[in-house]
């Protein structure tokens, strides 16, 4: 079990923009709950051009980094080793820095999604729908590769995006069928709906929520609830939030960077909820 060392251990989240990241709140709460008094966690605004120099300047006190946009793909050529999970979606959100100077890249978004669903009782589904086709949608497909036994329908705005999602499906060995965004209301009848779109995109779908909805996983967390999530809850459906995802992926990062397991999930969630309420 790792603990504070002489001079302290450091971690941080990198990205651009980064000011609104909740990662420092979550990780600092974890350090406090776990009694890791020598640890600190910061945020740095770093873009793709600045990333190599930033990494080269890190000393031995650094234990790890969380990476957000636009660095998840840019960091790949800069790591010594990449996990199968990260390689499957060409995205690294976690960099563990070893004592011998190696950089190990991983992706905790995918197992974080699976863990968030499991916490809400979703272990396996026969089919699912994905709203959107960006980077988060590919992570959603990777998560569905672990829990969905049948077809995934992806609702997208263009044929180019549709082609991308079909390619991701082939790569991840998920049966993907694409449909036009104009028909996205049909997605809401699926056993599991994963909304991966930016804020406001699904608001117009709220009126189409069926009387007995199943499970919605909306990856947004600020503002929360989204109109779709609020309507879904009102009709008695199960809702998994972006904060659930954020906390579960952060717990996995904490465990990898500190060696302290299990990570303090409840303390991290409470801190995240308080920070969002303060906004």
User: Which residue among the candidates 9, 10, 43, 72 is catalytic per the annotation?
Assistant: 72
Largest CA distance in the chain: 58
- pLDDT the model gives residue 2: 38
Predicted TM-score (pTM) of the model is 0.94
Active site residue 72: yes
d(CA 197, CA 134): 8
Residues 50-70 have pLDDT tens digits of 999 999 999 999 999 999 999
pLDDT, one tens digit per residue, over 156-190 is: 999 999 999 999 999 999 999 999 999 999 999 99
Residues in the chain: 279
Cα–Cα separations (whole angstroms), residue 123 to 85, 120, 144, 201, 242: 19, 9, 10, 28, 18
For the chain, the average pLDDT equals 96
How far, rounded to the nearest angstrom, does the alpha carbon of residue 24 sit from its chain's CA centroid? 15
State percent of the chain over pLDDT 70: 97
What does the pLDDT read at residue 7?
59
Which secondary structure element, helix H or strand E, spans residue 169, and what is its range?
A: helix 159-172
3-state secondary structure of 44: strand
The per-residue pLDDT for range 210-231, each reduced to its tens digit, is: 999 999 999 999 989 999 999 9
């Amino acid at each position: 079990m790792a603990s504070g060392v002489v001079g302290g251990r450091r971690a941080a989240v990198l990205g651009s923009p980064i000011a609104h990241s909740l990662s420092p709140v979550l990780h600092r709460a974890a350090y406090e709950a776990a009694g890791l008094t020598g640890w600190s966690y910061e945020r740095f605004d770093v873009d793709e051009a600045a990333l190599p120099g930033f990494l080269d300047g890190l000393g031995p006190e650094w234990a790890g980094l969380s990476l957000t946009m636009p660095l998840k793909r840019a960091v790949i050529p800069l790591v010594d080793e990449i996990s199968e999970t990260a390689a499957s979606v060409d995205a690294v959100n976690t960099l563990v820095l070893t004592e011998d100077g190696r950089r190990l890249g991983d992706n905790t978004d995918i197992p974080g999604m699976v863990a968030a669903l499991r916490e809400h009782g979703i272990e396996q589904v026969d089919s699912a729908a994905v709203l959107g086709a960006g980077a988060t949608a590919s992570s959603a497909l990777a998560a569905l590769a672990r829990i969905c036994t049948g077809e995934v329908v992806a609702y997208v705005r263009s044929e180019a995006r549709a082609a991308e999602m079909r390619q991701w499906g082939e790569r991840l060995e998920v049966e993907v069928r694409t449909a036009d965004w104009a028909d996205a209301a049909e997605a809401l009848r699926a056993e599991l709906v994963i909304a991966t779109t930016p804020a406001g995109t699904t608001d117009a779908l709220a009126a189409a929520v069926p009387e007995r909805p199943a499970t919605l996983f909306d990856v947004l967390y600020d503002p929360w609830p989204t109109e779709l999530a609020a309507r879904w809850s009102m009709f008695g459906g199960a809702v998994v939030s972006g904060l659930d995802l954020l906390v579960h992926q952060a717990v996995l990062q904490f465990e990898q960077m500190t060696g302290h397991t299990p990570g303090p999930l409840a303390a991290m969630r409470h801190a995240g909820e308080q920070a969002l309420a303060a906004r």
